[in-house]
Amino acid sequence: MANDVFAKSLLTRRQALALGASAALAGSLPRIAFAADEKVTLWHGWTGADNTTALNGVIDTFNKGGKGVTIEPTGYDWDTLFSKWVVSSAGGRAPDLVLFHITELPEFATRKVIRPIDDVVASSGLDLSQVPDAGRTGVTFDGKVYAAPLDVHPLGFYYNVDMVQEAGLDPTKPPKTGEEFLEWAKKLTVKDGGGKVTRYGFELPNTWATARWIWFSLMYQFGGTFLDDKGLAAVDSEASQKALQYLVDLINVHGVTNPEVGGNKGEDAFASKQVAMKFIGPWEVNLRMAQKMNFMTAQLPVFGAKPAVWANSHCMAVSKQKNDDKLAADGTFMKWFFDNFAAPATTVGIIPQSKAVRESAAFTGTEQYKYFKSFVDDLPNIVYEPLIPQYLSVFSFDKPTPLVTNLQAALSGSKPVPDALKAMKEGLDAQLKKG
């Protein structure tokens, strides 16, 4: 009897255990699904091999951090990224997060493919007070914050130390003024016995965007602005003419540069020793180090009345979606990325916007920092291109816009500077009035 009771009670216990285990398993399944990481898609334009590796490495670290969010990155070249993004938004399949430049933000905000993120900033604790005013203004549109500003990449001054020493110049004292720069450029320009230039002092290519950035910096240094108070082009101003004439004179009067040297894809006039100095962003630091070049960087010389240097910045925004289900996950990654930006900044060659990150040992302790320092020093002088909704068409890299075509015409000598800038203004005004 007792055995029967025992047997019964044992069975009951087994049944209870089985039932309990089943219940626990059944209960845990939805919990497992709930606890699974929220997948957040991120589209970016950092397609260079090193950049993609750097970004993916940082994202791997985040994904393994157990924050309940998994980032799935996809890289496209910038043009493809923008067209795919807008088309995907129209089809309701936009990525969750997108990384682009702050100068493009007004265009995407106007097209309503991104949403304001004041709520995400507040809930995630992303500390925008770490960002300089220019960066905060850059991500604000119609009084609302639309993106997290991640980095800043100003134009800087690169020079070949060996060539500078050979020319009898002191590489520890780079030129600070237009006169000093011209002196260096003349001494660094080398001619053969027949008077033919074998190396130019300075690289000023007539292709890609470099000439645009240099002229833009000089225009502000001479006291000009790109737009006037009415939002129309002010590129025919005296300051703008002075800036462009200075560059044209470097070619035609002083012979220290040639717009036909360097600039195209695949060409590297600096590494192939066709030029001794160039102005470009911090993103070339890693390339030059990998090439084992004996180079140094410095702040942009002041050619005009005050320092000013072209810059742009990457930012991360949230795509407009049908619902806000992933906002918390978006915010978790944005804050983490903003706070841990030293690693991607170092590998990509950009300067963190966050003061805390910029001054952290993770950034200042890197071997690249001795080159980055001049860019950091120039941060108070940065000028962003105008934050306008027509940015992509006005400042297009790959369309013969009024800006590019007339700048090229002035540098190649096919149009005098005043004519080129007058034609540029007319073309730009037509674009800007389009709205």
Partner 1 sequence: MTSLASQPAGRSRARRAAAQEGGAVRSGMTLAAYLFLSPYLALFIAFMLMPTLAAVGISFMRWDILGTPEFIGFDNYRQIFADPLFLTAIKNTFYFVFLTAIPMVVLGLALAMLLDQKLKGTAFVRTVVFLPYVVMVSTVGILWGWLFDKGTGLVNYYLTTIGIEPIAWLKDPHWSMPALAITTIWWTVNTNMIIFLAALQDIPEELHDAATLDGAGPWQRFVYITLPLLRPAMALVTALTIINGWRVFGQAYVMTQGGPEASTFVIVQYIYLTAFQNFEMGPAAAAGVVLLLITLVFSLAQMKLMKAI
Nearest-angstrom CA–CA distance, 306 and 381: 9
Which residues 89-108 are close enough to bind partner 1 by CB under 8 A? 89-90
Smallest gap from residue 273 Cβ to partner 1 (A):
10
Which residues 190-229 are close enough to bind partner 1 by CB under 8 A? 205-208
**Considering the rule CB under 8 A, would residue 322 count as an interface residue with partner 1?**
no
Q: How is residue 237 written in tokens?
A: 């101003």
In sequence order, which ranges of 64-94 are alpha helices (DSSP H)? 78-90
- CA of residue 362 relative to chain centroid, distance: 20
Nearest-angstrom CA–CA distance, 79 and 316: 17
Indicate the helix (H) or strand (E) that contains 25: helix 2-35
Tokens 């004041």 locate to 118
DSSP code of residue 269: T
Torsion angle of alpha carbons 16, 22, 25, 26, nearest 10°? Answer: -120
Contacts of 396 (CB under 8 A, 6+ apart): 404
Which residues 325-364 are close enough to bind partner 1 by CB under 8 A? none
**Considering the rule CB under 8 A, would residue 239 count as an interface residue with partner 1?**
no
Handedness of CA 398, 404, 406, 408 (dihedral sign): negative
Out of 234, 261, 276, 308, the only residue in the binding site for partner 1 (CB under 8 A) is: 261
**Considering the rule CB under 8 A, would residue 160 count as an interface residue with partner 1?**
no
Q: Which is nearer to partner 1, 85 or 338 (CB)?
A: 85
Out of 68, 377, 398, 416, the only residue in the binding site for partner 1 (CB under 8 A) is: 398
Out of 46, 62, 82, 384, the only residue in the binding site for partner 1 (CB under 8 A) is: 82
Stretch that binds partner 1, among 56-64, 256-264, 308-316, 357-365 (CB under 8 A): 256-264
Smallest gap from residue 291 Cβ to partner 1 (A):
15
Handedness of CA 7, 10, 16, 21 (dihedral sign): negative
Stretch that binds partner 1, among 77-85, 297-305, 324-332, 345-353 (CB under 8 A): 77-85
Stretch that binds partner 1, among 39-47, 153-161, 260-268, 277-285 (CB under 8 A): 260-268
Taking each helix axis as running N to C, give the angle between helix 49-63 and helix 327-339, from 0 to 180 degrees, rounded to the nearest 10.
120
Contacts of 127 (CB under 8 A, 6+ apart): 338, 354, 356
Nearest-angstrom CA–CA distance, 207 and 265: 9
Q: How is residue 182 written in tokens?
A: 């011209």
Smallest gap from residue 430 Cβ to partner 1 (A):
10
Stretch that binds partner 1, among 26-34, 308-316, 347-355, 400-408 (CB under 8 A): 400-408
**Considering the rule CB under 8 A, would residue 69 count as an interface residue with partner 1?**
no
Out of 79, 166, 179, 325, the only residue in the binding site for partner 1 (CB under 8 A) is: 79
By CB under 8 A, the count of residues binding partner 1 is 38
Stretch that binds partner 1, among 56-64, 278-286, 345-353, 408-416 (CB under 8 A): 408-416
Binding mask 5-44 for partner 1 (x = CB under 8 A): ----------------------------------------
Binding mask 267-306 for partner 1 (x = CB under 8 A): x-x--x-x--------------------------------
Which residues 357-396 are close enough to bind partner 1 by CB under 8 A? 392-393, 396
Smallest gap from residue 393 Cβ to partner 1 (A):
5
C-alpha to C-alpha distances, 114 to 87, 180, 286, 385, nearest whole angstrom:
13, 46, 32, 20
| Angle, CA of 364, 365 and 369, to the nearest 5° | 55
**Considering the rule CB under 8 A, would residue 419 count as an interface residue with partner 1?**
no
Smallest gap from residue 268 Cβ to partner 1 (A):
9
Smallest gap from residue 89 Cβ to partner 1 (A):
7
**Considering the rule CB under 8 A, would residue 67 count as an interface residue with partner 1?**
no
Q: Which is nearer to partner 1, 259 or 352 (CB)?
A: 259
DSSP β-ladder status, 275-280 and 197-202? parallel
Q: How is residue 367 written in tokens?
A: 């071997």
Q: How is residue 77 written in tokens?
A: 């070249």
Smallest gap from residue 107 Cβ to partner 1 (A):
9
Burial class for 11, CB neighbours closer than 10 Å (0-12, 13-18, 19+): exposed
Q: From edge to edge, which strands make up the β-sheet containing 190-191?
A: 190-191, 197-202, 275-280, 156-160, 295-298
Which chain residues interact with partner 1 by CB under 8 A? 79, 82-83, 86-87, 89-90, 111-113, 205-208, 259-261, 263-267, 269, 272, 274, 392-393, 396-400, 404-405, 408-409, 412, 414
